[in-house]
Structure 1
């Protein structure tokens, strides 16, 4: 995700585009609504099928000091930054993106978030499979490319995210993304194909 940061423990953070946001209580209600959406339900079910532990506090609304929409941390679950959420669609997107990170963290053997290539791979998958780079989202961000916008968007957001990893310079982020691009972009698990 754009503006993602992570550490050796596996924290990823989603960037935010706008807003003063909603209260933690209202965001928690939005999360509950997201949990009923088909895509979020599908990802949650697949996490459970893989034996991933999801407790009652796996997803929580919080106020964030950083300008991020949310994040995933190994052992800590998913946070949604209420003060940066304005619309239900934003909460849905954060959950979908972060659930893909959680899925990768649970199912990939020896995933090391401090490894630039590992981080880049999960970001490629989350960016591609979550719909973060859907044409309408890109238009709202001010990107108006008609052909090839989705891959360009994923690449842009992956590099930005991996660069926030304290173990990855801009060059390392770009090199890691290019090295794993084909494999990770084409890995659509747990979906049969990219949604």
Structure 2
């Protein structure tokens, strides 16, 4: 990742780090983000004021969570408020998982897959309107197909997970993790 001081939008599009920081501040006022932050704190995970920050990323990604560092939102790969808020929600679910699971090991394909399943399912990443905008049109089963596709895409970036190990891990934990809706009472 590049450092977050660049305030010029990338040649590929996106927004400036400063504009993204403004959008992050707006996302912090949304009900879902407030809810997740509250539950992180109730779980004993304090969130510093710089826990979520905008940066310009070298990799083609929207954002990420790193244990002990927090959440980065990749300004140069996002263009609108909804995208920023979606990344914040997705990554807060990873932070929540990391906080509540004393032994979560991000190098373990099954652990990583579980958190990705939960984040994809609970964040709204795979809402049918988002899928339609991505060019995926399916009337039935679109949400689970989307979650599976996005889990595999994320696990492909984990150097500890071969494609076969990633698929096996996702299938092994699917039912348990897909049905785990904490801290929500049910999937939003």
Per the normalisation by structure 1, the TM-score is 0.89
Q: Per-residue deviation at 1:22? A: 1.1
Matches of 1:167 and 1:125 in 2, distance apart?
Answer: 20
User: In structure 1, which of residues 66, 79, 82 is the aligned counterpart of residue 75 of structure 2?
Assistant: 82
Q: Per-residue deviation at 1:93? A: 0.3
1:193 aligns with 2:186: yes
User: In structure 2, which of residues 105, 111, 134 is the aligned counterpart of residue 118 of structure 1?
Assistant: 111
Gaps of 5+ in 2: 1-11
Q: Deviations over 1:71-122 (max 9, x none)?
A: 0000010001111111000000000000000000000120000000000000
Of the two structures, which has the highest relative contact order with CA contacts closer than 8 Å and spacing of 6 or more?
A: 1
Q: Which residue of 2 aligns with 1:23?
A: 16
Q: Which residue of 1 aligns with 2:27?
A: 34
Per the normalisation by structure 2, the TM-score is 0.93
Larger of the two Rg values belongs to structure: 2
Q: Which residue of 1 aligns with 2:159?
A: 166
Matches of 1:115 and 1:66 in 2, distance apart?
Answer: 22
> Alpha carbon RMSD of aligned pairs, Å?
0.7
User: In structure 2, which of residues 76, 86, 91 is the aligned counterpart of residue 93 of structure 1?
Assistant: 86
Matches of 2:170 and 2:102 in 1, distance apart?
Answer: 19
User: In structure 2, which of residues 124, 128, 139 is the aligned counterpart of residue 135 of structure 1?
Assistant: 128
Give SS of 1:68's match: coil
Give SS of 2:62's match: strand
Q: Which residue of 1 aligns with 2:63?
A: 70
Matches of 1:186 and 1:32 in 2, distance apart?
Answer: 31
Matches of 1:81 and 1:166 in 2, distance apart?
Answer: 21
How many positions carry a matched residue from both structures?
A: 177
Gaps of 5+ in 1: 1-18
Give SS of 1:61's match: strand
Matches of 1:59 and 1:117 in 2, distance apart?
Answer: 26
